[in-house]
Amino acid sequence: MQKTPDAAGASRAHAPEPPLMNPTQNVRHWRAIGMLVLATAFWGLSFPTVKALALVHAAIQPGSGNWFTASATVGPRFVIGTVVLLIIHLLFLRGSARRRTTPAEWRQGLLLGLFAAGGMILQNDGLQFTAASTSAFLTQLTAILIPLYVAFRMRKNPGWRVWFCCALVITGVAILGQFDWRELRLGRGEFETLLGAFFFAGQILTLDRPEFAGNRVMRITLVMFATEAVIYSIMAFATAPNLSALAAPWASPAFIMLTLLLVVFCTFGAFFLMNAWQPKITATEAGLVYCFEPIFGTLLALFLPGLFSAAFGINYANETFTWTLLTGGAFITAANILLQLKPPVKS
């Protein structure tokens, strides 16, 4: 039976609202948001720590190429992470946790490792050819790429609230990084950084795929770390000026301490939190939450460089507090609060 125009309009007017969360879902949702904000704090710690580590490495291996420095400073995090997780699996896990890695866990862990490593490699090389503010701005375009992908896949507009929140986040990142549109040139650095943003978006979306919902967090994290360890080890061996250059940094207490700091917080802490808690919210929400990362990075850069300089004998000055930190941070925070006033329900 065909509806009359009035009946059709009434039907649309009374279309069911999206389901609301029950109390248990609401608690789990907010816990996931909090854990992912903590993950961004750990990633924010990596900004000044990685730069300090690069300065230490440059003092040990002056004249090393950018590719070798990147692989020699980032790679050990994932090699150590892989070894530690293997030991935990072999010595401490029992029962179902010891079951073989399933094909789905292999596939998800491999995808996470490839996307994460690809994004970091492209971002690192792109930084050599573009301004840091441009790199930060283009990297955070993942906040736009994810709802675009979801809208295309679902054939459904996510609504004005999501797009407005994305616009707020991008504005906040631009202010925070003091991004200047006049400096934007679509050269090698910008292209690599933008391509890296697609890789990071792929990493976030891989955790959102329903076919991976039953995967074990520790197992996919092990496969992810192992994938990145292999990629960075190949890069290190391929770009090292000689074999002794691979071993020389490990005679430095500063190099070891900074690497362990990155392993504990920025590798184990951040990626375990991401892999465990992101699947409990939507990918769109996660993309916006992850934009807190540059806020924490900027805050920690106000005092950590001076501490690292005093402890390790490097020349790394603290950054200064500016209005852009408050304003940019306010935009990013407002975007996340607005979205959480009526958060989408994870299907």
pLDDT tens by residue, 278-336: 999 999 999 999 999 989 988 999 999 999 999 999 999 998 888 888 898 999 999 99
Confidence of residue 20 (pLDDT cuts 50, 70, 90): low
pTM exceeding 0.95: no
Average pLDDT (77-90) is 93
Query: How many CB atoms within 10 Å of residue 88?
Result: 13
- For helices 293-300 and 323-341, give the axis angle rounded to 10 degrees: 150
Q: Measuring CA to CA, how many Å separate 105 from each of 2, 214, 221, 259, 289?
A: 49, 9, 9, 28, 25
Per-residue tokens: 297: 């990075």
Select, from the ranges 93-97, 222-226, 243-247, 297-301, the one with the highest average predicted confidence (pLDDT): 222-226
Is 333 in contact with 40 (CB distance < 8 Å)? Answer: no
Is 281 in contact with 32 (CB distance < 8 Å)? Answer: yes
pLDDT at 19: 59
- Answer yes or no: is pLDDT of 265 > 90: yes
Q: How many CA atoms lie within 13 A of 70 on its CB side?
A: 22
- Answer yes or no: is pLDDT of 117 > 80: yes
pLDDT greater at residue 347 or residue 53? 53
pLDDT at 4: 46
